[in-house]
Amino acid sequence: MKRTLIKHALAAVEPLEAITVAGWVRTRRDAKGFSFLELNDGSCLGSLQAIVDAGVPGYADMAHCITGASAEVSGRLVPSPAAGQKWELQAARLRLLGKSDPSYPLQKKGHTLEFLRTIGHLRPRSNLFGAIFRTRSRLAYAVHTFFQERDFVYVHTPIITTSDCEGAGEMFRVTTLKGNIDDQGQADFFGRPAYLTVSGQLEAETFACALSNVYTFGPTFRAENSNTARHAAEFWMIEPEMAFCDLEGDMDLAEEFVKALARHALEECAEDLALFGKFVDKGLHDRLQFVVERPFQRVSYAEAVDILRASGKTFEYPVEYGLNLQSEHERYLTEQHFHSPVTVFNYPREIKPFYMRLNDDGKTVTAMDVLVPGIGEVIGGSQREERLDALLENLSYHKLRPEDYWWYVDLRKYGTVPHAGFGLGFERLLMFLTGVGNIRDVVPFARTPGSAEF
Ligand code: 4AD
Ligand code: MG
């Protein structure tokens, strides 16, 4: 018999004569002559209650239908007299699929997130994590819809690379060498040292300089030793790249993108969002509504520094022109000063990578970061240096060898065009849209310093 997802059973508009559902037992209650069995199959937040009479085939296994066990129930979907549920299933047959050992760790509600991380293989069965990962899936779909509707071409940039896009030296080496790998890598698999990518941007630029508008959406890796709630060693990034586009157009697209994803979450993930609003972040719904409706603020880096210096706040890290904005500064700007997402642009050249376009002042580059309340940076991007001379000069300024970037330099030799793009950290955005405070809880299996379980 065809199985009906519990999501569809719960959304039925009329009684259904003969359906079969399957799932994991959340609870069982026994009464005289029958049992209530609450099944959840993860297709939605809700569970379906089955009423199983003692005479029904399979009832003999009811004793094994304890929390965590899996079972299949066939029967009639009928209006439920119980409060809080529209439908219930009157079982005609019960089939135990898999017993559960009494040691099942998800017995009771109210486990801490820290504990649930230690059972990463089982936590998707909890209400919260089911909701998080359904939302993650829908938003991944929304990412593709957003770009495909705008005629962006999806490019699969390589995961193994030999160039450090961000120049921060936070790369994981990929090697087949045993023992000493500290040579120049000639003996290694690729004949030179290779790494897991930190960004698909440089490769995406080559495709933008052929197909105009492109995007990437894939895993990226950073060996940053920062054990914070916002950093993962493996995370997913979405990187659009647009030819014939400047910083202004880049900031416009970034804002439109964040708004579209917030709108999608509100409209398409309403049930799961309501759960986050109740248990994770009470202000979530209003905040997302605000994000969708209001324009983001825009300030230059220099203005941002002035605002921070005039704030009278004591920060842990110094605020000075020429220094990076730290997360506490980013959060002050969004949460206390602007009460809104903020796009900060035109950063000092010395704190940004080699590929960003130098402004006419000779001191700043066309960088932009989108900062949001509660998180800080969700997007980093820029207009790219399209002028050959300026790019070569910038490579040497950053002590990089042009021959290592020969193909990237070539793009400036053959029909160069102004172009711009950005990278959005998918997990950071998910944190923002769900209210979940730790990046480890929006990744199915988090990789962080000292931890790669599962
Ligand atoms: O600002 P980043 O380093 O920018 C780039 O990589 C550019 N190449 C993007 C581009 O212009 N195409 O990283 C982009 C975003 C950050 O804003 C942040 O949201 C996320 O990636 N990110 C991380 N997310 C989780 N864990 C980490 N360790 C992250 N590092 C960056
Ligand atoms: Mg950045």
Q: Establish whether residue 404 lines the binding site of ligand 1, counting it when its CB lies within 6 angstroms of any ligand atom.
A: no
Range 346-354 average pLDDT: 96
Q: Establish whether residue 199 lines the binding site of ligand 1, counting it when its CB lies within 6 angstroms of any ligand atom.
A: yes
Spatial distance between the Cα atoms of 160 and 138, rounded to a whole number of angstroms: 28
CA distance readout (Å), 123 to 44, 71, 380, 409: 15, 19, 31, 47
Give the CATH number for residue 383: 3.30.930.10
Q: Establish whether residue 353 lines the binding site of ligand 1, counting it when its CB lies within 6 angstroms of any ligand atom.
A: no
Q: Which atom of ligand 1 is nearest to the CA of 379?
A: 17
Range 290-296 average pLDDT: 95
pLDDT digits (tens, 9 = 90+) for 101-151: 999 999 877 899 999 999 999 999 999 999 999 999 999 999 999 999 999
Ligand 1 atom 17: the closest Cα is on which residue? 379
pLDDT digits (tens, 9 = 90+) for 270-283: 999 999 999 999 99
Same domain, 63 and 171: no
Same domain, 277 and 417: yes
Same domain, 37 and 147: no
Residue ending a domain, among 43, 64, 98, is: 98
End-to-end CA distance of the chain: 34
- Strand 342-348 and strand 297-300: pairing? parallel
Spatial distance between the Cα atoms of 154 and 372, rounded to a whole number of angstroms: 26
Domain assignment present for residue 141? The answer is yes
Same domain, 91 and 179: no
Domain extent, residue 354, equals 123-441
Same domain, 53 and 147: no
Same domain, 222 and 280: yes
Domain assignment present for residue 451? The answer is no
Q: Establish whether residue 234 lines the binding site of ligand 1, counting it when its CB lies within 6 angstroms of any ligand atom.
A: no
Domain assignment present for residue 255? The answer is yes
Spatial distance between the Cα atoms of 173 and 351, rounded to a whole number of angstroms: 24
Domain assignment present for residue 130? The answer is yes
Give the CATH number for residue 53: 2.40.50.140
Domain assignment present for residue 79? The answer is yes
Spatial distance between the Cα atoms of 342 and 110, rounded to a whole number of angstroms: 35
Could you tell me if 216 and 424 are in contact, meaning their C-beta atoms sit under 8 angstroms apart? no
Quote the pTM value: 0.96
Q: What letter does residue 152 receive in the DSSP assignment?
A: P
Which residues is 73 bridged to in the sheet?
21, 94
- CA of 107 from ligand 2 middle (Å) equals 41
Spatial distance between the Cα atoms of 426 and 432, rounded to a whole number of angstroms: 10
Spatial distance between the Cα atoms of 35 and 90, rounded to a whole number of angstroms: 11
State how many domains the chain has.
2
Q: Establish whether residue 422 lines the binding site of ligand 1, counting it when its CB lies within 6 angstroms of any ligand atom.
A: yes
Spatial distance between the Cα atoms of 258 and 238, rounded to a whole number of angstroms: 12
Spatial distance between the Cα atoms of 284 and 273, rounded to a whole number of angstroms: 8
Q: Establish whether residue 421 lines the binding site of ligand 1, counting it when its CB lies within 6 angstroms of any ligand atom.
A: yes
Domain assignment present for residue 420? The answer is yes
Same domain, 211 and 66: no
pLDDT digits (tens, 9 = 90+) for 227-245: 899 999 999 999 999 999 9
Ligand 1 atom 24: the closest Cα is on which residue? 425
Q: Establish whether residue 44 lines the binding site of ligand 1, counting it when its CB lies within 6 angstroms of any ligand atom.
A: no
- CA of 342 from ligand 2 middle (Å) equals 14
CA 133 to mean position of chain CA atoms: 10
Same domain, 199 and 261: yes
